[in-house]
Chains A and B, each alone.
Chain A
Amino acid sequence: MNALACRLLAIFALALTPLALSAHKLSDSYLHLSVDGTVITGQWDIALRDLEHAIAFDANGDGKLTWGEVKQRHPEIEVYALGRLEILAGDEACLASATEHLASRRADGVYAVMRFTAKCPEPLSRLTLGYTLFFDLDPSHRGLLSLSHNGAVDESVFGPDSVEQRFNLD
C-alpha cells in the first residue's frame, strides 16, 4: 500500500456525498422559539412538499424543486407562514419578520428553514401562540413546537383541535 493509493482513497472518500432518501410521513413542521425579554427568535422548518402544495413554486412544472425556484418564493413563504402564526404577549400582538432563509435535509425530505424574529411590545410573561399553518389544506398536518425560555424548554403539538396554546413564562 503506497502513499499515492492511500491519498487517492482519501480523496475518493471525500468526493462522495450522502443522499437523503424520502420515506413519506405525515406532514409535520418544526417550530423552535426562543424567548429573551421582548424578543422572540424563531426557526421554522417547513417541508418543501407542503409549501409546494400550498404555494406552488415548481415554476417550470417539471416535478423538481430547485433552490432557485424556492428562493424566488421566499417573500411569499414569509407572508404565508408568518401570517398563520399569531404571537401574543399578553393581549398585544408581536410583529414577526424573517431574517434568513435556508434549507435542511431530514429523513422524509428537504425542508425550508425560515429564521425570524418577533418583537413584542412588552416583556413576555404570558405568551399565546396561534398556529393555523396548512390545516385548511391538510387536517393531518401538525406543528411541533419547542419553546425555550429562562433555560426551560416546553414542547407542544399544534393541530386543528389545538390551534391556540398559552404559556406562562415566569
Chain B
Amino acid sequence: MADEDMSSAQNPSKAVFNQCFALKVLFRPPCAYDGFISQSISVWRQFSQSTWIIGYFNLNNNVALGHNIRSVEVLAAVMPRGAKTLFLNAQPAICRMLISGALMVVALSSVLAAEPFVPESDLDVLEQVPSSADPQLTALRRASEASPEALEPAVALAAHYIRLARAEGDPRFYGYAEATLAPWWTTAQPPVDVLVLRAVVRQARHEFDSALTDLVQVNERQPGNAQAWLSRSVIHRVQGDYAEALESCLPLFRLVNRLMATACSASAAALSGQAAASYELLASEVQRRPTRNEGEALWFSGLLADMAIALSDVEKAEAHLKSALALDPDNPSMLSRYADLLLDEGRDPEVLELLATAPERDSILLRQAIAKHRLGAPDADALATRLEEGFRGTRARGDSPHGRGEARLALELRSNPTQALDFALANWEVQREPWDARLVLQAAFAADQPAAAASVLAHLERNGTEHAWLEPLAAKLREAIP
C-alpha cells in the first residue's frame, strides 16, 4: 500500500520524501512506510500542539543535495520551548546528529507501530469503543436479536444506530442499521418506519435520488409526516431544485410550528433571489419566538449564518456561529462553517485555535490542513497526505469519496486546479449547494478553463442566486467565456 506512494505518485509529497531520505541517510531501511512516518509524526504533533512548540531541524542543512528538493528536514518530536532554542544553537554538529538520530529512531518506532506487534501488557488499551459500554444499545440489540423478524425492536435499534452514526461520525453504524432492517430493506413496500430510516441512511450516503423516492412514498402513506416533508425540502435544496424545495415546505405550515416552516422556506428562498429578505424574515421570527429545542436552535443558527455569509455580513454570521457553538461546542458542521469564515477573512491562526480540540473528522482535518498550509506549518503536507490516503482507501474499496474534500484539497493544498476541476464537476452532478458551485468556479478560474463553469453559471442565473462567494468569480468567468 505505502509502496504506491513512492512508485506511482507523480508528485510525492516533499515532506514525505524528505523524511524517507532522512531515514535512508541514517538507517538504510527500505522506505516502505514513509506514509506512516509522516502520518505518525503529524499525529504526534497534533496531540501535543497545545503545550509544546514544534522544533524542526535540518539534518543536512549545509549539504547541497543537487536535487530539486529543499534541504532535508525531519519533523522533530515534541520539544519543550527551551529545547528548541538550545537545539538550534547546538554545537558541535555531532550533537545535532545524535539528537536527529534519536528522533529518527522514534520516527522509526512509529513506523514499526504500523507493523503487526504484540502488545506488551494485557492492560494495554488498544481501542476505545464507546458503544460497547452503552447499556441502551445492549438492551436494544438483545431485544432485536431475540426476534429478528419483529418490526418494532428492529426499528428502535436501527434508529439508535443512526443516532450513534451522527454522534460519533462513524459511518459503520449506517451499515449496522441497514443490516438490522434487512428483512424489510429490499421488499417492494417496506413499512413506513423502515422507509423513513432507509431515507436517512441513503441521504447520509449521498444517494439523494433514492432517498427522495423513499420520502415521497412516506408522505403518500403519511401526509402528516412533517419530518419527511422537511427532509425532502433539504434534499431538493442540496440538489439545487429550489421550486421543489419550497413546495415541500408548504405542508409544514399546517403541521409544525410557524418558525420551523418559515426556516424551511426561507432557506430555499435565500438561494433563489431572496437572500436579504429571507435573512430578515428568519432572523426576526427567531428573535420573536426563541425556541427551547436545542436541535432546532442549532439548525436556525446554521441557516442564519449561511445566509449572513451569502450577504457578506461577517459580523452577523460570526454571532450566529458563536451562539450555535455555545449550544454545542463540538458540532463539526458549525466548526467547519466557522473555520471557512475565518479562512476567507484571512484569520488563519484563529482557525487552528478554533479546531484545536475539535472531533476527528475529515472535514475538520481539511480545514486544519489549509490553515497550516497558509501559515507554513511543517505538518500541513502530512495532513494533506493523510487525507489523500483516506480518499485512496475509499477508492480501493470500490466507493467514491464524497464531494467537496477532494476538490478543495487539490485546489488549496496541491495547487492542482485541473484535478480540482474534475473533482468539482463530478461533485456538481451530485450536489449543488453554494460550496459546490464555489469549487467549480474557483477551479475553472484557476485552471483557466472558464467554459467548464458554464453549467454552474447557468444554474446561478436561472435561479437568481445571490451569494458573496459566487458573484465576483461568476462575473470574471462570464467575461472570459467567448
Interface residues of A (CB under 8 A from B): 1, 3, 5-7, 9-14, 16-28, 43, 45, 48-50, 52-53, 56, 58, 61-68, 70-71, 102-107, 109-110, 113, 136-142, 144, 157, 159
Contacts and interface: CB of A to CB of B under 8 A. Distances in A.
Nearest to B82: A5
A159 B398 CA distance: 9
Interface of B: 39-41, 43-44, 46-47, 76-80, 83, 86-87, 89-91, 95, 98-99, 101-103, 105-106, 109-110, 113-119, 121-134, 168-172, 174-176, 178-179, 182, 360-362, 365, 386, 389-390, 393-394, 396-399
Given A1-B89, A63-B130, A110-B126, A23 B114 contact: no
Residue from B87, B105, B172 with most neighbouring chain A CB atoms (10 Å): B172
A26 B205 CA distance: 11
A142 B40 contact: no
B179 A139 contact: yes
Contacts of B175: 26-27, 137-141
5 contacts: A18-B41, A22-B127, A48-B129, A140-B171, A140-B175
Contact of A18 (B40, B126, B170): B40
Contact of A6 (B95, B119, B123, B360): B95
Q: Is the interface of A mostly helix, strand, loop or mixed?
A: mixed
B129 A16 contact: no
Contacts of B178: 138-140
Contacts of B124: 66-67
A104 B117 contact: yes
Contacts of B176: 53, 137-138
Contacts of B86: 1, 5, 9
Nearest to B393: A25
Contacts of B172: 24, 26-27, 49-50, 53, 138, 140
Nearest to A5: B86
Given A17-B106, A24-B170, A66-B126, 18 more contacts: A5-B86, A9-B79, A16-B78, A21-B43, A21-B360, A25-B171, A28-B397, A49-B129, A49-B172, A64-B128, A64-B129, A65-B126, A104-B114, A105-B114, A109-B127, A144-B397, A157-B396, A157-B397
B82 to A, nearest CB: 9
A63 B133 contact: yes
A13 B118 contact: no
Contact of A65 (B46, B121, B125): B125
B397 A18 contact: no
B105 A14 contact: yes
